Chain A
């Protein structure tokens, strides 16, 4: 980075999250192609390669890559069917889109010099709001006002129900917040820590420890990348169940 002076030791763990224009040095307008564009594009190309190019033979006996694509398909399809119910399968392509986008963004972000699009709250917030709005609209479209019955806990004593309804509404409204911050926070923290350890690796005294720690954190981050994509997706399915399943609260 430009701030690296002659002192030789400077750690800038947050610089990796800066959004930069791909071409030139102008301002970042809403339409400017930036590193966000680049890494989202790479993620889409990877998914295209795995799910379109690798499956082009439509083999009854699959090739290796085709069976990988089939494993993802089966995994998410089962998750939607088991968690959201049979009615939720209609939204399988939407859930699959979310899962693959987050998974690939997370994993590509672990490449050195790359940019992690899902470490930005602006990105995960849009994803979470899309899920929130989608689930709410689907619920209202399918059940009408009956959708709001999920806030009215009919199994609780009558006196408690208004209080519980308030709590339920608040918790429902907080869903997109926790949903998005969980993902962005996990990735941002992991990448920042990784960068800090990498920075310490330039000091000869602590370099062995720092490199060892960075390696360990990297392994952990690989796990986090997959687990957070999984968590985001399964929560989406859980929310979807409220909209399409039988409301039993």
Chain B
């Protein structure tokens, strides 16, 4: 702008001829109508843009988003309730199954106990019979053994007497041995 010639200084109140500002340009009344006019134009344009297009659009977007979020939250809440119900049903089913299982176990135990008792009783009876039989056998054997001892003792005594040179009186020997065995 240095080469520019200022033929006329249109705003001598506010500008030096060379173009610099005199004092504060803010106080130059020559320019104020211009500023006010363009400000009002700008404000009207801006207000129309904002109030007709921009703000309703953003408001609608925000409302829609809020609605979507609210709906999603409600849906989530409902799903949570359903999940809780399902869990409750599951727990109930589990408890029923446990009770059932306990019942079945108790029944099975009782049956087994019964079988066991029966088997034990039978075994006891058998054992008692066997014991009685065994005792009878033992008694028989013992009786047999006493008789055999008496016979052997008589024979031995007769032989001894014969070897010592005496005539054995069979009857006396028998009586003596019987007396000894009893003694």
Contacts and interface: CB of A to CB of B under 8 A. Distances in A.
- Report whether chain A binds chain B: yes
Interface of A: 1-4, 12, 14-15, 17-19, 25-32, 34, 36-37, 40-41, 43-44, 47-48, 51-52, 55, 58-60, 62, 66, 69-70, 73-74, 92-94, 96-97, 100-101, 117, 119-123, 126-127, 130, 184, 188
16 contacts: A2-B4, A14-B21, A14-B24, A15-B25, A17-B25, A19-B34, A27-B10, A29-B33, A34-B34, A40-B39, A40-B41, A60-B68, A96-B55, A97-B47, A121-B26, A126-B39
Contacts of B59: 73
B30 A93 contact: no
Contacts of A120: 25-26, 35
B20 A93 contact: no
**What band does the interface of chain B fall in when counting residues whose beta carbon is under 8 Å from A?**
35 or more
Contacts of A55: 54, 57-58, 61
Q: Label chain A's interface by main secondary structure.
A: helix
Nearest to A37: B38
A123 B38 CA distance: 9
Contacts of A123: 35-36, 39
Contacts of B10: 25-28
A28 B34 CA distance: 7
B138 interface: no
Interface of B: 1-2, 4, 6, 10-11, 14-16, 18-21, 23-28, 30-43, 45-47, 49-51, 53-55, 57-62, 64-65, 68
Residue among B24, B58, B62 with most chain A CB within 10 A: B58
A73 B62 contact: yes
Contacts of B25: 14-15, 17-19, 120
B58 A36 contact: no
A27 B64 contact: no
Contacts of B47: 93-94, 97
A66 B58 CA distance: 9
Contact of B54 (A51, A60, A74, A130): A51
Contacts of B49: 44, 47-48, 51-52
B76 to A, nearest CB: 17
B32 to A, nearest CB: 4
Nearest to A58: B61
A60 B31 contact: no
A5 B168 CA distance: 185
Contact of A96 (B23, B24, B41, B50): B50
B46 A100 contact: yes
A27 B4 CA distance: 16
Contact of B42 (A4, A40, A69): A40
Contact of B62 (A26, A30, A74, A96): A74
